[in-house]
Amino acid sequence: MSITSALFSGSSGLAANGSALAVIGNNIANVNTVGFKSSRSEFQDILSEGLEGGSGSAQIGGGVELANIRQMFTQGSFESTNSSTDLAIDGDGFFIMRKGDLRTYTRAGMFRLDKNKQLVNQDNLVVQGRVTNESGAFSGSVTDIDFSSLVTAATRPSQNVTLVANLDAQASVPSTAFTLAGNNTIAADDATAASNFETALTTYDSIGNDHTLTIFFRKSSGTQNAYDFHIMGNAGEVTAGSTGLIQGGQGSITFTTGGTVTSVSGATATFAFRGADSTAIGFDFSQLSQFASAAATTFQSQDGFGAGSLLSFAIDNQGLITGNYTNGEALPLAQISLARFDNPDGLASAGGNQYLESGSSGQPIIGIPGSGGRGSINSNSLELSNVDLTDEFVKLITTQRGFQANSRTITLTDELLAELVNLIR
């Protein structure tokens, strides 16, 4: 009888609205949970029976059921913080975490360095990405972001020097000859007297010791638009007890009548500093000029550095983590990877702000932040919960009314059944 069916319809309404109330309560409870995504209850009707002899439209429903609880992956607002390891994703994507052999995914970027110098969250799940080796090259596979081997920057011997300077076109050939002793050395004062211009820079050997090299430029006697150069180091740093400067290389530079370099010879210097490997250093003089103005250096650089300790690090919007070392170097350490899903609504919640891949979500598409539809990363920021309290309170009211109305259906049906029973008195 349809009256009896009304009892079950009302009961289904109580169950569905009770579940919806639990979903709303969970949303409100997590209004301050970083990276939390709200859920929405989705109902559908239940077809119970058709009236005998009726047409296709003469059907009575069997009530309602909770068809789905959908996660709403809309963007949350950002909160600025003072921690460089607090990260927020602006756009689609999830941070990849490792829990034992299991990979999980999250939007909550409250990370820190643990005692093992791994980037972890509050539950000690390790953030995944690509890390660099000692030569600065990134690994091809996604793995734990681990700084333990990068706390100290390995030394890098100087191999390339770039110099930008002007050599005076009006200079005369010095009257003092640039004469080396039998051991390829010369006193510093004599080298200066035999040159028109000199410039010095610091380089590094294979064990990280710094050495000052001085380049002496001398107007060529045989060619108007040419300079000879001598690359000199401290003789005592090569041979114990030696004094003065020792030559590592020499050559010449020819200029056009317009003052630009046309040819360079001998632009390599080799020094075997004590306790270190012999190092050949290439010098780029292609940006020198010869104009009728005072000789001066405008820029110089070299690619070596000594040992240093990790002082701090910064994370850019592509997830690149750059370490700042006490030796003044800034080196890439790692790059955080993000995962994107074709159907993020299909992810399975694992608690702790973590999600698991499922058959409905599809496989993760992993890559660099800011590429392939993945969002960018904001450092010193956290993504707040996307729960809208106003919306939740409205749902709370409508759900309460729905629950009350269904309870009235049961009460009224019970009264009707009681009247039916009383007919036999």
Q: Quickly list DSSP for 15-57.
A: HHHHHHHHHHHHHHHTTT-TT---EEEEEEEEEEEE-TT--TT
The label of the residue with tokens 């009247």 reads 419
Q: Which amino acid is at 215?
A: I
- Rounded to two decimals, what is the model's pTM? 0.73
Residue 255 pLDDT more than 90? yes
**What's the pLDDT at 425?**
61
Q: Which residues fall within 8 angstroms of residue 340, CB to CB, at 6 or more apart?
A: 92, 93, 94, 364, 365, 366, 367, 372, 373, 374
Asked if the structure places residue 49 within a domain, the reply is yes
Q: pLDDT, tens digit, for every residue of 392-424? A: 999 999 999 999 998 888 888 878 888 777 876
Q: Which amino acid is at 396?
A: L
Closest by CA position to 229, among listed 298, 160, 167: 167
Q: pLDDT, tens digit, for every residue of 378-392? A: 999 999 999 999 999
Q: What is the mean pLDDT of residues 38-45?
A: 92
Higher-confidence residue of 134 and 43: namely 43
The label of the residue with tokens 């740093």 reads 237
Give yes or no: residues 281 and 215 share one domain.
yes
Q: Whole domain around residue 374: which residue ranges? A: 82-141+336-383
Identify the CATH number of the domain in which residue 202 sits: 2.60.98.20
Give yes or no: residues 24 and 42 share one domain.
yes
Residue 54 pLDDT more than 60? no
> What's the rounded Cα separation, in Å, for the pair 121 and 127?
8
Q: Which residues fall within 8 angstroms of residue 108, CB to CB, at 6 or more apart?
A: 33, 34, 35, 36, 95, 121, 353, 382, 383
Asked if the structure places residue 284 within a domain, the reply is yes
**What's the pLDDT at 211?**
96
Give yes or no: residues 188 and 290 share one domain.
yes
Closest by CA position to 233, among listed 253, 213, 258: 213
What count of Cα atoms within 13 Å lies in the side-chain half-sphere of residue 164? 5
CA distances from 335 to 70, 115, 130, 360, 373 (A): 32, 20, 5, 29, 17
Asked if the structure places residue 317 within a domain, the reply is no
Give yes or no: residues 199 and 264 share one domain.
yes
Residue 383 near residue 87, CB atoms below 8 Å: no
Phi, psi (5° rounding) for residue 297? -95, 130
**What's the pLDDT at 267?**
95
Give yes or no: residues 168 and 248 share one domain.
yes
The 8-class DSSP code of residue 176 comes to S
Give yes or no: residues 377 and 245 share one domain.
no
Give yes or no: residues 188 and 254 share one domain.
yes
Give yes or no: residues 269 and 346 share one domain.
no
Count of residues making up the chain: 425
Residue 360 pLDDT more than 80? yes
Residue 155 pLDDT more than 90? no
Give yes or no: residues 251 and 344 share one domain.
no
Give yes or no: residues 177 and 290 share one domain.
yes
Q: What is the mean pLDDT of residues 80-94?
A: 95
**What's the pLDDT at 411?**
86
**DSSP-assigned letters across all residues of 223-243:** -TTEEEEEEEEEGGGTSTT--
Asked if the structure places residue 147 within a domain, the reply is no
Spell out a b/e string for 37-47, using b for 16 or more CB atoms within 10 Å of the CB, else e.
Answer: bbbebebeeee
> What's the rounded Cα separation, in Å, for the pair 85 and 80?
12
Asked if the structure places residue 324 within a domain, the reply is no
> What's the rounded Cα separation, in Å, for the pair 316 and 413?
64
**What's the pLDDT at 314?**
93
Higher-confidence residue of 5 and 247: namely 247
Residue 39's pLDDT band (cuts 50, 70, 90): very high
Residue 51 pLDDT more than 70? no
For the chain, percent of residues with pLDDT exceeding 70:
96
Give yes or no: residues 67 and 102 share one domain.
no
Asked if the structure places residue 323 within a domain, the reply is no
Q: pLDDT, tens digit, for every residue of 304-357? A: 999 888 888 899 999 999 999 888 888 889 999 999 999 999 999 999 999 999
**What's the pLDDT at 38?**
95
Q: For Cα atoms 17, 22, 25, give the angle at the middle one, nearest 5 degrees.
A: 125
The tally of domains found in the chain comes to: 3
**What's the pLDDT at 350?**
92
Q: Which amino acid is at 261?
A: V
Asked if the structure places residue 361 within a domain, the reply is yes
Q: pLDDT, tens digit, for every residue of 13-30? A: 899 999 999 999 999 999
Residue 379 near residue 84, CB atoms below 8 Å: yes
> What's the rounded Cα separation, in Å, for the pair 286 and 254?
10
Give yes or no: residues 65 and 93 share one domain.
no
Q: Which residues fall within 8 angstroms of residue 127, CB to CB, at 6 or more apart?
A: 95, 96, 97, 111, 118, 119, 120, 121, 144, 145, 336
Residue 53 pLDDT more than 70? no
Closest by CA position to 143, among listed 153, 128, 156: 128
> What's the rounded Cα separation, in Å, for the pair 49 and 61?
7
Asked if the structure places residue 315 within a domain, the reply is no
**What's the pLDDT at 132?**
85
Residue 224 pLDDT more than 80? yes
Q: Which amino acid is at 66?
A: L
What count of Cα atoms within 13 Å lies in the side-chain half-sphere of residue 158? 26
Q: Which amino acid is at 307?
A: A
> What's the rounded Cα separation, in Å, for the pair 353 and 173?
76
Residue 252 pLDDT more than 70? yes
